[in-house]
């Protein structure tokens, strides 16, 4: 068995990170200067100079570009070490799977007993992918999906993952030799996370499949990544739970002062579709401290890039910007907490829930049912070969105290 170890990043990579960080900091300083000029223009003339607005947008675009570059470097340098699966070095296993993908010969796979058991589908439902392909798909989804990076991810072999949650254990005080009164039974809630089927159907030419130097597993993982990650991201945020994960914005939302289990608490922004005109930072601070102390240590803000653009211009009472760019691949921060951009979060609008804050690793659970399935179809779209690839994914809130929202409304 061979082990690939993660060594120190090459000097060239470190230089690239330093250069990208320097460019990002320069862009942030330019953004602050341009925004200060814009505020002065509004105070003097009642409106901003259109040329200044255009300059601000160009600086923001440059800032976004540098942030994306730093995130890419961070992912490349933090990639975990990968130990080779013993089955990968099995010539018979590699040959059988390769023969199925390239030529449609499934005799070797059937002999190795890799055929999947498909519930609710026809007999020709495809074959369970070997562990290395399953791992390739998961690695790419982890890199492409912000929710997978910040939430808990659990592997399961069951169709429905069930998690009991204690809502309070009964206890009481007693003297060392005093009598112990019987306590009431603890209250439990059973959360269920059904795994729904997610599918993609990339197409390949026979020329690609006949190319002995082409890594078909890598190609297939790359192709399904884009489709799977887009569908997953939308479901983890806004999914209704019907044949898909339930997004954290799809649960019942209630004012945090009246928060109860099975609901997500929210704080008002102070204005309809916008931040409060006076002391907008105060409402963000209220959002931070609506979270219990045990969840704040690993908490983060979640919003889309248009909301980030608005947040970048906010200042506190001492005229300091609330937003800080990330250093050397670290996430940007707001009030000292990291910011994760998820495009599926809603734009700022009246009554929208455009900002979330919480410990998503403890608050949201993603369930992956092990075993992606691949069905080779050379008939439906000749001369292309289709690879109907499916995996089962579930998700939902596992701790309703760990996530809070900001509602953009005055009342």
> Rounded distance, CA 147 to CA 22, Å?
28
* Domain assignment of residue 158, yes or no: yes
Read off the pLDDT band of 86 (50, 70, 90).
Answer: very low
Structural domain count, the chain? 2
The dihedral built from the CA positions of residue 74, 75, 76 and 80, taken in this order, carries a sign that is positive
pLDDT digits (tens, 9 = 90+) for 318-374: 888 888 887 666 778 999 999 999 999 999 999 999 999 999 999 999 999 877 888
Each residue of 177-213: pLDDT tens digit?
A: 777 776 666 677 788 999 999 999 999 998 888 887 7
Do 99 and 27 share a structural domain? no
> What pTM does this model have?
0.76
- Work out the mean pLDDT of the chain and round it to a whole number: 81
Q: Domain boundary at 62, 77, 92, which?
A: 77
Lowest-confidence pick of 103-107, 151-155, 286-290, 386-390: 103-107
316 assigned to some structural domain: no
Cα–Cα distance measured from residue 263 to residue 248, given in angstroms and rounded to the nearest whole number: 10
- Tell whether 288 and 350 lie within a shared domain: yes
> Quick one: pLDDT band at residue 141, thresholds 50, 70, 90?
confident
Name the more confident of 178 and 10: 178
Using CB atoms within 10 A of its CB, is residue 212 exposed (0-12), middle (13-18) or buried (19+)?
A: exposed
List the CATH number of the domain containing 291.
3.30.2400.10
Per-residue pLDDT tens over the stretch 280-301: 889 999 999 999 999 999 999 9
Q: Same domain, yes or no, for 159 and 87?
A: yes
Residues present in the chain in total: 411
3: pLDDT confidence band, cut at 50, 70 and 90? very low
Concatenate the DSSP letters of all residues of 188-243 into one string. Answer: EEEEEEE-EEEEE--EE-HHHHH-TT--HHHHHHHHHHHHHHHHHHHHHHH-BSSS
Cβ atoms < 10 Å from Cβ of 277? 8
Computed over its alpha carbons, how large is the radius of gyration of the chain? 25
Domain boundary among 29, 57, 77: 77
Longest dimension (CA), the chain: 84
Q: How confident is the model at residue 90 (pLDDT cuts 50, 70, 90)?
A: low
Q: Is the dihedral of CA 89, 104, 376, 209 positive or negative?
A: positive
Direct distance between the N- and C-terminal alpha carbons of the chain, in angstroms, rounded to an integer: 62
> Long-range contacts of range 52-61, CB-CB < 8 Å, 24 or more positions apart?
56/31, 59/27, 59/30, 59/31, 59/34, 60/31, 60/309, 60/312
Pairing relationship of beta strands 82-83 and 353-358 according to DSSP bridges: unpaired
Residue 410 lies in a domain: yes
The whole-number average pLDDT for the span 248-267 is 94
Which domain covers residue 25, as residue numbers?
A: 11-77
- Tell me the pLDDT tens digit for each residue of 26-82: 777 777 777 777 777 777 777 777 777 777 777 777 777 766 766 666 555 544 443
Instruction: Tell me which of 25, 50, 77 is where a domain ends.
Output: 77
């Amino acid at each position: 068995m061979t082990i690939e170890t993660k060594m120190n990043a090459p000097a060239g990579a470190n230089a690239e990170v330093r250069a990208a960080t320097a460019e990002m900091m320069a862009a942030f300083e330019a953004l602050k200067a341009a925004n200060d000029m814009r505020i002065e223009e509004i105070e003097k003339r009642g409106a901003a100079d259109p040329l200044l607005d255009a300059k601000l947008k160009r600086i923001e675009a440059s800032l976004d570009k540098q942030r994306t570059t730093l995130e890419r470097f961070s992912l490349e340098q933090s990639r975990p070490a990968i130990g080779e699966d013993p089955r990968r070095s099995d010539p018979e296993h590699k040959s059988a799977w390769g023969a199925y993908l390239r030529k449609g010969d499934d005799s070797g796979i059937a002999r190795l007993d890799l055929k999947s058991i498909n519930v609710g589908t026809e007999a020709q439902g495809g074959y369970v992918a070997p562990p290395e392909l399953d791992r390739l798909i998961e690695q790419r989804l982890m890199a492409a999906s912000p929710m997978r990076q910040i939430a808990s991810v659990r592997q399961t072999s069951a169709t429905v993952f069930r998690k009991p949650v204690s809502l309070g254990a009964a206890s009481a005080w007693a003297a060392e030799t005093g009598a112990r009164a019987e306590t009431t039974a603890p209250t439990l809630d059973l959360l269920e996370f059904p795994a729904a089927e997610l599918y993609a159907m990339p197409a390949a030419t026979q020329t690609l499949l006949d190319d002995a130097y082409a890594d078909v597993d890598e190609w297939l993982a790359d192709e399904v990544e884009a489709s799977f990650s887009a569908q997953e991201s939308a479901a983890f945020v806004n999914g209704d739970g019907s044949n898909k994960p339930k997004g954290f914005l799809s649960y019942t939302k209630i004012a945090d002062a009246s928060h109860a289990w099975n609901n997500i608490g929210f704080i008002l922004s102070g204005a309809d579709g916008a931040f409060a005109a006076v002391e907008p930072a105060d409402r963000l601070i209220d959002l931070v401290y609506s979270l219990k102390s045990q969840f704040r240590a690993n908490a983060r803000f979640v919003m889309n890039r248009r909301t980030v653009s608005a947040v970048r211009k906010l200042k506190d009472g001492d005229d300091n910007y609330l937003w800080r760019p990330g250093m050397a691949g670290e996430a940007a921060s707001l009030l000292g907490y990291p910011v994760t951009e998820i495009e599926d979060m809603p734009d700022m609008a009246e009554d929208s829930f455009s900002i979330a804050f919480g410990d998503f690793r403890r608050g949201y659970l993603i369930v992956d049912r092990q075993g992606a399935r691949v069905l080779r179809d050379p008939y439906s779209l000749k001369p292309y070969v289709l690879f109907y690839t499916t995996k089962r994914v579930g998700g939902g809130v596992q701790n309703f105290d760990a996530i809070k929202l900001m509602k953009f409304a005055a009342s």
